[in-house]
Structure 1
Amino acid sequence: MRALETTTTGSDGWLAQLVQWLVELMDVIGPVGAGIAIAAENLFPPIPSEAILPLAGIAANRGAFPLWEAVLWATIGSVVGALVLYGIGALVGVKRLVWIADKVPLLHPEDVHRTVAWFEKHGPVAVFFGRFIPIFRSLISIPAGVVRMPIWKFLLYTASGSLIWNTIFILVGWFLGESWHIVEQYMDLFQNIVIVVVIVAIAVFVYVRVRQLVKARREGHGTDA
């Protein structure tokens, strides 16, 4: 698997070095290393799973370990990482979020209640499909913990979504080999689109809230006059 080292060093920087270290971890302890790497990716979203999973597929294709073990341990890692974030969300809880929203400018406690109500209704679907969206793939576990989604349901949808995601990218490495970067380019584009959408949504939210605040203050001054 040492031949894979050249596939992960195309870019400099700490993130590339971290990915390289995770690849070397697979070299040392096999598919369990893939599980640890994906668990780390869940806890630290900048680590790209789409850069780690194909390398596990390449290693499996070269006989370092069976393909099914790569998929199994990657999925176990996904679930373990998601459970940690679920626990963080559970520790925060709805009451603390309401308290925070009441203190943060432009936020209202009602925002938390609406979000919680939405997640209680659509949580399973959000957890499952969230596994296929960069950034949200990790963060979706936190609101699931906040609303205390039944743990069996959380595990079921997390494992199902993660199994599909992990299998796809491990098979990319298995079939494409060193050419897996072709797929990575499209995933980078998809991730950038998601980031832009999130930034625009935040900007729109801030704009609307600021306008509401300004309007409320003007109406208040008008009443005083």
Structure 2
Amino acid sequence: MGFVHFLIELLKDPRTIIAQWIAMGVAPTLGFIFLIVFIETGVVFFPFLPGDSLLFAAGFFAAPDAATGKPGALPIMALLPVVWVAPIIGDQCNYFIGRFFGRRIIASGKVKAMTPERLAKTESMIEKWGPLAVFIGRFFPFIRTFMPFISGISGMRWARFTPFSMLGGLTWSTLFTLLGYFFGGIKIVQDNFELVIVAILLISILPTVIGLLKAKFGRKPQPARHGK
């Protein structure tokens, strides 16, 4: 229950959690950020970790003080390599988990978040876009965890998977970290930080929710065929 409570608090208020990490030092903070991003990406059992909001909050702490120009609590030149490497290694880990153990994991039913609808959504992206789906899927919660896993199961060649995985990981992590870095110093963002985090979460999951709803309710009924 302690880990579940930690995840809930991280989802609710990543700024406070990261501030507590920073009190322990920069190196442990970077280590925790790496671990959370890696686990969300690389371990198929944890698709609900808050990668987007965590990166934004980390960028917020790296931003210099707008009034004094004092450097942020996290050095941006140390933070960026950490958030670049974590999703790339995570994707590789998840790809090979899917390739060698994926069928057994799905058959076991232990990944409750891997519903038939989410699996179908991920598989349809791969069928439609091929390896480009690996890049696109990086920007959708749940999908970004399942995408390398399903890519491994589907037999997508590692040489096709890896370039799009690396590009997606680099783009996603840079985007959300720099959003926090450049916009975190704005007073309205600082005063409404929790609302900003909620907005990031809602915006990031909205396309996935819409896709699932379309998959479930958007199918047109087949017209009845009448015999001659």
Alignment CA distance shift 1:142-1:22 (3 Å)? farther
1-side partners of 2:10 and 2:200: how far apart?
19
Deviates most, 186-195 or 31-40:
186-195
Match of 2:82 among 67, 73, 95: 73
Q: Which secondary structure does the structure 2 equivalent of 1:140 belong to?
A: helix
Q: Unaligned regions of 5+ residues in structure 2, if any?
A: 64-70, 109-115
Task: Tell me which residue corresponds to 1:193.
Answer: 206
2-side partners of 1:199 and 1:144: how far apart?
19
TM-score, normalising length: structure 2: 0.63
Q: Unaligned regions of 5+ residues in structure 1, if any?
A: 1-12, 101-106, 216-225
RCO comparison, higher one (Cα < 8 Å, 6+): 2
Q: How does 1:13-32 map to 2 (within 5 A)?
A: 14-18=6-10, 23=18, 24-25=20-21, 28=25, 29-32=28-31
2:130 is the alignment partner of 1:128: no
1-side partners of 2:141 and 2:181: how far apart?
22
Checking the alignment, whether the CA contact within 8 Å between 1:123 and 1:144 is kept in structure 2 is: no
Q: Which secondary structure does the structure 1 equivalent of 2:155 belong to?
A: coil
Runs of 4+ in 1 over 4 A off after TM superposition: 18-22, 24-27, 205-208
Q: How does 1:155-170 map to 2 (within 5 A)?
A: 155-170=162-177
Give the greater-gyration-radius structure (CA): 1
Checking the alignment, whether the CA contact within 8 Å between 1:31 and 1:56 is kept in structure 2 is: no
TM-score, normalising length: structure 1: 0.64
Q: How does 1:44-63 map to 2 (within 5 A)?
A: 44-61=46-63, 62-63=71-72
Query: 1:19-60: per-residue Cα shift (whole Å, max 9, x none)?
Result: 559634465424333211211222322111122112221232
Aligned residues: 187
Identical-residue share of aligned pairs (%)? 25
Checking the alignment, whether the CA contact within 8 Å between 1:134 and 1:194 is kept in structure 2 is: no
Greater helix proportion = 1
